[in-house]
Structure formats: C-alpha cells, structure tokens
Copies of this chain bind each other. A is one copy, B any other.
C-alpha cells in the first residue's frame, strides 16, 4: 500500500515548496514584502493550504531560520577544519561568519532579528549551540596553552561573538556609509585584539 506513502511524499513536497517559495520571494523582495498570500499565489494553492503545513507565518520563518543556522554551522565547521592552530581557527571562523552574513543577508537578518519584526527565532534554536561549541573549543585551547589559565572562556566567547555580530549588524543596517575595506579591517583588528588579549 504505497498510497499513504505517496500522500506523505506529496504533502512533504508542498511543505518544501512553501519554504522554497518563501525563500525566493524574500531574496527578491525582502522580508517586509513576504506575505502568506504571495506564497499561496506562487505555489498555486489557496491561502488556507499554507496553514495545513504551518501553524502560522512565524513557523515558516522559524523553519527558514533553522536552515540558516545549519548553513552557518557548516561554514564555521569547514573554516575551523582548515587549521589546527586555535588562533588561526578563530580568525578563520570570524571570516566565515562575516562571509555568511553578507552572502546570505536575508538569513542573517532573520536569524538575529535585524530590521524585521522580531519572531523569537534565536531563542528556541538548539542549532545555535553548535556554532557556540565550535568557537569555544578554540578559545579553550588557547587558554589552556597559557601559563596563567585563569581567563573565563565563556566570557571570551561572548566578547568574540559580540564584536563580530556588532560589526555585521551595524554595517548591515546602514548600508554603504562605510567602505567594505574599512569594515574588513575593523573585523581583523578586533579579532586580532581578542586573540592577543587571550594569549598571555
């Protein structure tokens, strides 16, 4: 009896069509222009069908946000794997994070609520701890190498992340009032500062 399976498969196809269409629309017109009706139009179903697959609009955003966190984690992992020296790893991960943010502006905006109605995406997102562990691993390693390993790794992780996120969100919000070059310099400078402050 493959009928049930086909039905499940078809249902799954509609569900991923919703997600894919929503994502295409967002890339074309931005988050503020995304509406349930536009998605329904694009997948050639009526509006209530959307609600057979998602409880509400926020559930769609959450699912897309999850993809974002998974993609970010993957990029971070790949960056880290290129090096064995933890300081190099941190630099590479900062770069990867930066690149992810600007190559996937819409993902980043959704994931961290930049310029869009907040949807509590980042909370209730288990995937974010994956990337947290990646960074903290390298930080821990550096600290262990120290002669006076008193530094708080958790605190340093927060600093690391805050610098990068702060830089990105400032640049992302006000567009092109500073050059790309300067921003990349600031990133490198800040990351270098943190690492330097870590090794002692």
Which chain A residues have a beta carbon within 8 Å of chain B's beta carbons? 32, 112-118, 122-123, 152, 154-156, 158-159, 161-167, 169-170, 173-175, 177-178, 182-183, 185-186, 189-190, 193-194, 196-197
Contacts and interface: CB of A to CB of B under 8 A. Distances in A.
Contacts of A189: 155-156, 159
Contacts of A186: 155, 158-159, 162
B170 A163 contact: no
Contacts of A118: 32, 114-116, 173
Contact of A163 (B154, B162, B174, B183): B162
A130 to B, nearest CB: 16
Contacts of A114: 113-114, 118
| Chain A interface SS verdict (over half) | helix
A77 to B, nearest CB: 21
